[in-house]
């Protein structure tokens, strides 16, 4: 468990399983280095811009890539690299019409795959494998569909490290592409203007002046639990509540370090109903204030601040990646 007071004072990271300092070298592929990368970043006609892909939920694909390019953890020498990062903005490209699902899959296969070798063509020490990318290759896939956005992922990305903000489910798929033993849950994209690192668009209100403490983010999609939430919201429009986790399988960023029981409430998805509101109503404001205060101490972990900041989402991801490094592949 991460003790908030210790973290605030020392701005460190627990030694257990991580080491006592960051010592990581990551090779970042250039867009011209692998055929097909440009299409997966800018679309078939190269019309999708980086700025447009910085917006919305998939903005982390761009942010992580840009930060790695400037990072002290980047190496230009493949032979000394611990990990290899292959940048794609594929979710953004798909949503903006740059590539269809079929084109995404064919682009991966056409450009990366050699049918004679039965392998993905990456002639480097770290990434060449006869069955696909090796376990020291990183992809950032920001999508409700997860790695399923590349249909052939089970064959070619089944050993790679996937960075994703969603691991508890996969849209329109029976199984999630997320593997808790190799992949990493990262903080979702928050517009820079809503953090201390951009011009502020919002002012925080004290609890006593708030009408709402939470709102439903996502799509209902006809799912029973979500439909019930919408019905409850319509029946109790003025009900005050605190944020709760309603997914039984949810995994959260830095969960091996942050004790989320101190800053959130987890509620069984099978018990969504009036009893949820009854429970929330009984929580004293004093406890809610304390929970918010503890969360405020570590909120820096969820903002993609410059690497020079001692506490940021990017630095947290580097610690998580360091734990994935293998000396033998």
Supply the angle between the helices 274-282 and 224-235 in degrees, to the nearest 10.
60
Residue 96, pLDDT > 70, answer yes
Report the alpha-carbon distance of residue 252 to residue 256 in Å, rounded: 9
Are the C-beta atoms of residues 2 and 42 closer than 8 Å to each other?
no
Phi, then psi, of 274 in degrees rounded to 5: -55, -30
Characterize 195-208 residue by residue with b for buried, 16 or more Cβ atoms within 10 angstroms of its Cβ, and e for exposed.
beeeeeeeeeeeee
- The rounded percent of the chain whose pLDDT value lies above 70 is 64
Report helix, strand or coil for 108: helix
Over residues 58-87, the pLDDT tens digits come to 888 899 999 999 999 999 998 888 888 888
Q: What is the CA radius of gyration of the chain?
A: 21
Q: Contact 322/19 with Cβ under 8 angstroms?
A: yes
**Structure confidence by residue, pLDDT tens digits, 121-136:** 333 334 434 344 455 6
Q: How do residues 138-196 score in pLDDT, each as one tens digit? A: 677 666 666 667 777 777 777 788 888 877 665 566 677 788 888 889 998 877 766 66
Three-state SS for 211? Answer: coil
Choice between 14 and 163, residue whose per-residue pLDDT is larger: 163
Q: What is the DSSP letter of 207?
A: G
Two structure tokens written together for 32: 């011209």
Spell out the SS3 assignment of 272-310: CCHHHHHHHHHCCHHHHHHHHHHHHHHHHHHCCCCCCCC
pLDDT in tens, 301-312: 988 988 888 889
Whole-angstrom Cα distance, residue 248 to residue 168? Answer: 8
**What is the band of 117 on the pLDDT scale with cuts at 50, 70, 90?**
very low
């Amino acid at each position: 468990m991460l003790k908030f007071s210790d973290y605030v004072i020392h701005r460190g990271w627990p030694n257990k399983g991580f080491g006592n300092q960051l010592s990581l070298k990551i090779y970042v592929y250039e867009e011209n280095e692998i055929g097909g990368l440009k299409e997966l970043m800018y679309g078939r006609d190269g019309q999708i811009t980086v700025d447009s892909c910085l917006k919305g939920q998939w903005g982390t694909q761009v942010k992580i890539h840009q930060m790695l390019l400037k990072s002290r953890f980047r190496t230009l020498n493949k032979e000394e690299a611990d990990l290899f990062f292959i940048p794609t903005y594929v979710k953004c490209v798909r949503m903006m019409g740059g590539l269809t699902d079929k084109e995404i899959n064919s682009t991966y296969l056409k450009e990366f795959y050699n049918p004679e070798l039965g392998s993905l063509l990456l002639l480097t020490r770290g990434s060449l494998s006869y069955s696909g990318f090796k376990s020291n290759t990183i992809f950032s896939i920001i999508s409700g569909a997860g790695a399923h956005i590349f249909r052939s992922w089970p064959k070619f990305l089944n050993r790679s490290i996937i960075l994703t903000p969603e691991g508890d489910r996969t849209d329109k798929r029976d199984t999630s592409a997320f593997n808790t033993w190799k992949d990493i849950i990262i903080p979702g994209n928050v517009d820079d203007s809503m953090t201390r690192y951009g011009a502020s668009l919002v002012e925080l209100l004290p609890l006593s002046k708030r009408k709402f403490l939470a709102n439903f983010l996502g799509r209902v999609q006809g799912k029973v639990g979500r439909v019930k939430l919408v019905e409850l919201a319509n029946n109790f429009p003025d009900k005050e509540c605190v944020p709760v986790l309603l997914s039984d399988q949810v995994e959260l960023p830095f969960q091996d370090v942050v004790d989320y029981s101190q800053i959130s409430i987890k509620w069984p998805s099978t018990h969504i109903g009036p009893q949820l509101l009854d429970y929330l109503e009984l929580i004293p404001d004093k406890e809610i204030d304390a929970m918010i205060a503890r969360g405020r101490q570590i909120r820096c972990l969820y903002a993609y601040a410059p690497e020079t900041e001692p506490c940021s989402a990017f630095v947290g991801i580097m610690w998580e990646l360091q734990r994935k490094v293998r000396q033998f592949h």
